[in-house]
Amino acid sequence: MPRLPDTRTVAQARATVYTGAMSPRSRRPADAADPRVSESDAWAAAASASSPRAAVTVLLRERWEAARARAAQRLEYGLGGVEVAKLYAAAADDMLTSLWRFATEALYPAPNPTEAERLSLIAVGGYGRGVLAPFSDLDLLFLRPWKSIPRTEQVIEFMLYVLWDLGVKVGQSARSVDECLALAKADMTVRTALLEARPLAGDLALAEDFIARFRAFVVKSDPRPFIAAKLEERDARHQKAGAVRYRVEPNVKDGKGGLRDLNTLFWIARSLAPDSPLGARVMDDLLTSRERRTFEEAFDFLWRTRAHLHLLAGRAEEKLTFDLQPEVARRMGWRGRGDEPAVERFMRRYFLVARDVGGLTRAMSAKLEARQQKPTLSLSRLIPGRRRKLGVEGLIEDGGRLSVTGPEVFAAAPEKLLMLFRCADTHDLDLHPDAFSAVSRSLSLVTPSLRRDPEATRAFLDILAHGQRPYRVLTLMNETGLLGRFLPEWGRIVGQTQFNMYHAYTVDEHTLQAIGIINDIWRGKLKAEHPNASEIVHRIDDFEALMLAMMLHDVGKGGDRGQLEDGAIAARRACDRLGLDPRRIEFVVWLVRNHLALSDYAQKRDVSDPETVRAFTELVGDPERLRTLLILTVADIRAVGPGVWNGWKGQLIRDLYQRTEAAFRGETLHPVDPLDDYPELMRRGRAEGVVAEVLEADPTEAEGPSATRVAVAARDRPGLFADLAQA
C-alpha cells in the first residue's frame, strides 16, 4: 500500500470503493448531479438536529438495510457464498465510513488534527478479511498514537451508540500502536485478529505504520508457538461444539469440518507470510492445485450454507438444526431423488465437505511438519529423524506415526492400502499426514480385483474383527475415502443422514460407533453397564460374522425395497466379494435382515406372553444367532446417540433373551404372574394398605375393548407413582 501524507484519510483515499458498494456512481454521466452534495446536506441536517444520534441512525439504517437486502437477494439468486459474504462486508464498510465521516467531520471536527488527535478505524478478524455473514459481529479496532484524549473518546462513544441503535453487534477495542504490538506478542487471540487488519477510515498513515510494524514483528517471530496455539484452540472448540465430525445437527462455524477449521488454515498461512493477501503464497506452496480447489469449493459451500442459515433464523445462528435443514436445503437448490429427500441429499453433501476439510487440515499439517514449523506434540516425536521399519516393505514409523516411504508403495502393491491401516492398529500408531494424503491420492488403485484380493480382504477383516481399536482405524479409512472405495456398499451411506430427532449421527458414523461399542464390550470396558453382554460376547463362535453384520446392518437405508431387504442383498454381495464361505454368508445376511427383531419384539410386544417368546424363538432358530443378535442389538441402540439406551430397554431385552434362551433349553413356557415378578413390591403395598380395583373397560369408550382400567387408593408417599407404574 503506497505511503500517503498524514492529511489524507482512509475514507478519502478509498471513498469510491466504499460508496461504490452502495450505488453505481462510477457509471453516472459527467454532467449528473453529485450525490455527495445531497448526502452532505443530510449530514448537516442530522448534525444540527436536537438528537444527532437518532437522526444519523435513521439515515444510516435505510442505506444499511437496503444494501443487506440486495446481498440477500443475490444469495437467493444463486450467487456464491464467498461473493455474498463480500457483499455483506462491503455494506458494512459503506455504513461505517459514512458514520465515521459524520462523527469526525460534522460532530467532532478537527480540520488540522494534532498528533494526539490522530485516529484510525481498522477492521480486524474475519471482517478484516472482507467477508461477513448476515448477522456476524463487526470486529473493529480504534487505533490511536498513544493515550486517549477527550475527542477520541467522544468519536468512539458516539459511533458505538449508533451501531448499537442499528442493532449491530460490535467487537471493539481502542488501543495505541504500542499497546497493540505488546498484546500481539503476549496474546495469540489478539495476534490472530490483527493478522487480518484492514484500514477502513481515518488516518491512513497511522494505520499503515502500525500494520507495517506488526507484520515485521510477525515475520521475525517463531511461527511454531502460534501454530500450536491455533491447533490447540481448534481442538478445544471441537470439544465444545461436538468432537464428532458427523453429528446430524452440525455447527457450521465452530464444528469439526466447519468454517473455523478453514479459517485456522488461513491464519497459519498469514502467520508465515503476513504480507501475502489471504496467505495465498503459503497456501499455494502447502497445498496442491487439487487441494486448493477443494479448499475453495468447501469454503464457498460453507459460507453459502451459513448465510442461508443466518437469514432463515433471523439471527447469528450457527447450528444447522433439524427444523432449519429442510428450508436451507430448498434455498440452496437441492431436490429429492428417488426415496432420498432433498434435505438428506443436502446434509450428505455437507458431511462430505466436512470430511474434505479434515483432509485439508491433515495435508497442510504434513507440509508444515516437513518444514519443521509445526511443533511436535508427543515425546515419541521429539527424537529427530526417528524412522523404524515395521515388517512391511514401504511402511515405516516416522516420528511416532505410521508413514510410507513414498506414494509408489501403493502403485507397486495396492493391497498395502489396506495393510497400512492394519499396521497402524497392530502398532497402535496414528497415521502420518503424508500417509493420509498418499492414500487419498491413490484411490484410483482400488479396482474390482483389489476388492477380492485375499491379502487385502484379510487385512480388512483383521482390522474389523480382531483389531485393538477398530473405531479409530476404520474412521481413518473412512476419512481418506478408502473404506467406501474398498467396500462400495459402505460408500453409499458415507455422510448419509436420517432426518429425524432420534439419530444423533450420520449412518456411517453411527455404524462405526456401534463397532467400537462391540469392541468395548468384548474387552470388558462396559462390564458395569452390561454384565450379561460382557459374558455372552465371549460365547459367540463367529465374531467376524458379528462384526461384518454390524458393519453392513444399515447399508440398505434409503433403498427401494426397504432397509432390511436391500441391506440383506447388499450384505450378500459384500460377503461374497470378501471370500466368506456360503454358510457364513447366510449367517451375516440373516443378521442384517433381522437386526431390528430383538428390539422390536422386546419393546413392541408383551415379553411375558408365551406366544411372543415362542414366535421369537422360531424366528431366531438357534442359541448362536440369539447371542450374536443380542450383542448387535445392544451396540446398535447405544450408538444411536447419547441417552438413547436406558434401563427400561435393557430390562425388556434381557427378559426376552432369558426367556428365549430358556425355550432353547426345552423349558416349558408359562404366562408370567405379575405378583410373582414383584413379590416385594406387592408385600409393601399390602402393608401400606393399598386398595386396587380392576374395572373392565367399556367397549364404547376411547380405550377400546382390549383396555383395562385400574383404580388405586393409597396413602401418599415419595415414589408411590413410580412403584405403581412398575407394577
Judged by DSSP in three states, 621 sits in coil
Confidence of residue 383 (pLDDT cuts 50, 70, 90): very low
Backbone angles phi, psi at 131, to 5 degrees: -135, 145
Residues 156-212: tens digit of each pLDDT = 999 999 999 999 999 999 999 999 999 999 999 999 999 999 999 999 999 999 999
Is pLDDT above 70 for 686? no
| CA atoms lying within 13 Å on the CB side of residue 133 | 28
* Cα separation values, 503 from 478, 499, 631, 633, 639, Å: 20, 8, 19, 15, 9
Domain 222-375 is classified in which CATH homologous superfamily?
Answer: Nucleotidyltransferases  domain 2 (1.20.120.330)
| Domain ranges across the chain | 10-221, 222-375, 507-664, 674-726
Q: Which residues contact 339 (CB under 8 A, 6 or more apart)?
A: 558, 559, 560
Confidence of residue 441 (pLDDT cuts 50, 70, 90): confident
Residue with cell 470378501: 578
| CA atoms lying within 13 Å on the CB side of residue 274 | 22
Higher local confidence (pLDDT), 647 or 683: 647
Predicted pLDDT of residue 672: 55
Distance CA 496, CA 461 (A): 24
Residues 636-654: tens digit of each pLDDT = 999 998 888 988 899 999 9
pLDDT cut 90: percent of the chain above it = 61
Assigned CATH for 10-221: 3.30.460.10
Residue 319 pairs in a beta bridge with 251
- Residues 593-610 as b/e (b if ≥16 CB within 10 A, e otherwise) read bbbebbbebbeebebbee
Give the residue from 161, 180, 247 showing the smallest Cα distance to 218: 180
